[in-house]
Amino acid sequence: MKRTVPQSPNTERAVLGSLMADPGLLDSLTGLHEDLFFTPANRLVFETIREIGAENGTPNVIAVTQRIDAKHKLNFVGGAGELTEMLGQSAGGQAAVDYHAQTLRDLYGRRRIIDSAVAMQAAAQDLASNADDVLQQSGEAILSLSLGTATDSMRPAADIVPGLLDELETLMSGQADKLGLPTGFKDFDQVTGGLRAGQFTIIAGRPAMGKSALMLNMADNMAQRGVPVLYFSLEMPANELAARVVLSRAKTNTEVIRNGFLPPDGKHKIMAAATAFGDEPMYIDDAGGLSLLDIRGRGRLAVRRWGVKCIFVDYLQLVSHGAAQSRENEVGFVSRGLKSMAMELGIPVVAAAQLNRKSEDRSDNRPRMSDLRDSGSIEQDADIVSLLYRPSYFAADEEQQTADPQECELIVAKHRAGRTGTLNLQWRPTLTKFETPRLTDESNFVYAPDKQLWDALNE
């Protein structure tokens, strides 16, 4: 069956006629470009209009006719009479031209979809090509499709100020937590204002430092507050993550469970914690070997389907990107892609990242941003870079290494929108949980977000 190419010559003529009737419209239609015009003759007319406008000329019908005639292409566009007829088909004012321009964008987008589909089909039928490469290239082609926008992204200060005043008023009212999503770690939220829409946050550390645990704690804290979150786990199965959350909530020692022992009241606590967790909006994707395109596609789907407000990626260096030329290049692609995803979806994205061994070779083992493994792009792309440091990790004394709780520092090394500094946490390895220390007596440090929960913890 023969398929027609999506196009509308009359709409193209109406837009061109409008531009020649009112040359001032050319500057207001900034999203218009020659590829939107399917008919070659109409594309030439548009290029000529834009060319004259770029020279500060007035691209009316006379000027356009003379310019095309000078190129010896007047017959190609149908002659001077054709241009005059276009003028007679002018769509009218700004609103009408905007409508027709959007129609051209829609038709152009459909043509690009068809072209991509044909190319993907041809690649899929080429048995000499690697199927994984074909899939990666197909994903790149789909991700690159864009219909453009009717207007550009430039905004006058008058349009920006009202939103700015609302944000400042929120800050001055002492309700700064409403600007970002609280992570449940009070000091971190006070320094950062919570996780903001469009922000890309890195939590970095050496292996076994607790990066995954801290991210999972943050995701769990949000889910308990009813905030939908998506957690990409590229090295740990979903069942293990869920077990961590449930056992931590039930305050049950994970080592005791692994050894087959359970206190008499433990089963009830675990069942209650599991039931509560099952009712909360945390979504876990534990598919291994995900590419950047996979994560961006699944992230968009999760936002549309479940209204996800924050995405966690564990961890950045495990995300692949097939078009990369080197490992450093690949990590850079992924870093920039995760930042772009945060901006595109309008939600915060948090990713764990590995540090190299440099900190272990220094007398002061505290990590630095320069220790980020494989790429300097990470520290450039991230809005917030936090580095985990546990002194006991580097201790030679085995007793000090296994002590519970353990002191921990969360070093906010970069904060694009505010101050940096070092925050104190406590790591409870038997619960795989971080807590903000709060002194209640000489031996007990616990962080309680509110009085009701504090009372419940001390029953």
Task: Looking at mean pLDDT, say which of 116-125, 316-325, 352-361 comes out highest.
Answer: 116-125
Q: pLDDT by residue (tens digit) across 262-285? A: 666 677 778 888 888 888 888 988
Q: pLDDT by residue (tens digit) across 80-128? A: 888 888 888 887 777 788 888 888 888 988 888 888 888 888 888 888 8
434 lies in a domain? Answer: yes
Domain ranges, residue 44: 9-144
Q: pLDDT by residue (tens digit) across 30-51? A: 667 888 899 899 999 998 988 8
Site of tokens 């001077």: 80
**Res 450: pLDDT:** 43
Considering the domain architecture, whether residues 438 and 315 belong to the same structural domain is answered as yes
CATH of the domain at 118: 1.10.860.10
Considering the domain architecture, whether residues 110 and 220 belong to the same structural domain is answered as no
3-class secondary-structure state, position 109: helix
Residue that is last in its domain, among 109, 144, 179? 144
Q: How far apart are CA 179 and CA 422, in angstroms?
A: 22
**Res 408: pLDDT:** 87
Q: How far apart are CA 106 and CA 137, in angstroms?
A: 24
**Res 310: pLDDT:** 94
Average pLDDT of the residues in 127-149: 66
**Res 56: pLDDT:** 76
Of 115-119, 326-330, 338-342, 388-392, the poorest mean pLDDT is in: 326-330
pLDDT tops 90 at residue 311 = yes
Site of tokens 């929108």: 417
**Res 175: pLDDT:** 55
Considering the domain architecture, whether residues 66 and 172 belong to the same structural domain is answered as no
Q: What is the DSSP string of 82-105?
A: HHHHHHHT---SHHHHHHHHHHHH
Q: What is the DSSP letter of 179?
A: G
Decide: 227 and 281 in contact? Cβ < 8 Å. yes
Average pLDDT of the residues in 312-325: 77
Considering the domain architecture, whether residues 266 and 394 belong to the same structural domain is answered as yes
The one-letter code for the residue type at 110 is R
Please give the residue that has the higher pLDDT: either 236 or 138. 236
pLDDT tops 90 at residue 228 = yes
21 lies in a domain? Answer: yes
- b (16+ CB within 10 A) / e for 225-263: eebbbbbbbbebeeeebbbbbbbbbbebbbeeeeeeeee
Q: pLDDT by residue (tens digit) across 364-398? A: 778 888 777 666 678 788 889 998 888 877 765 55
317 lies in a domain? Answer: yes
Q: How far apart are CA 103 and CA 96, in angstroms?
A: 11
Residue that is last in its domain, among 144, 175, 202? 144
Considering the domain architecture, whether residues 140 and 170 belong to the same structural domain is answered as no
Considering the domain architecture, whether residues 369 and 406 belong to the same structural domain is answered as yes
Strand partners, 412: 386, 421
Site of tokens 């993907």: 120
How many residues in total does the chain contain? 459
Compute the mean pLDDT over every residue in the chain, rounded to the nearest whole number.
78
Considering the domain architecture, whether residues 352 and 384 belong to the same structural domain is answered as yes
451 lies in a domain? Answer: yes
CATH of the domain at 410: 3.40.50.300
The pLDDT-based confidence of 348 (bands split at 50, 70, 90) is: very high
160 lies in a domain? Answer: no
158 lies in a domain? Answer: no
Considering the domain architecture, whether residues 126 and 170 belong to the same structural domain is answered as no
42 lies in a domain? Answer: yes
Average pLDDT of the residues in 279-294: 83
Considering the domain architecture, whether residues 41 and 125 belong to the same structural domain is answered as yes
Q: What is the DSSP string of 6-51?
A: P--HHHHHHHHHHHHH-TTHHHH-TT--GGG--SHHHHHHHHHHHH
N-term to C-term CA, the chain: 74
Specify the number of domains making up the chain: 2
Task: Looking at mean pLDDT, say which of 114-123, 288-297, 303-312 comes out highest.
Answer: 303-312
The pLDDT-based confidence of 438 (bands split at 50, 70, 90) is: low
438 lies in a domain? Answer: yes
Whole-model pTM? 0.63
Q: How far apart are CA 353 and CA 316, in angstroms?
A: 5
**Res 142: pLDDT:** 67
Considering the domain architecture, whether residues 198 and 138 belong to the same structural domain is answered as no
Residue that is last in its domain, among 144, 179, 203? 144
Please give the residue that has the higher pLDDT: either 177 or 449. 177
Q: How far apart are CA 143 and CA 158, in angstroms?
A: 34
pLDDT tops 70 at residue 147 = no
Considering the domain architecture, whether residues 108 and 253 belong to the same structural domain is answered as no
Considering the domain architecture, whether residues 26 and 59 belong to the same structural domain is answered as yes
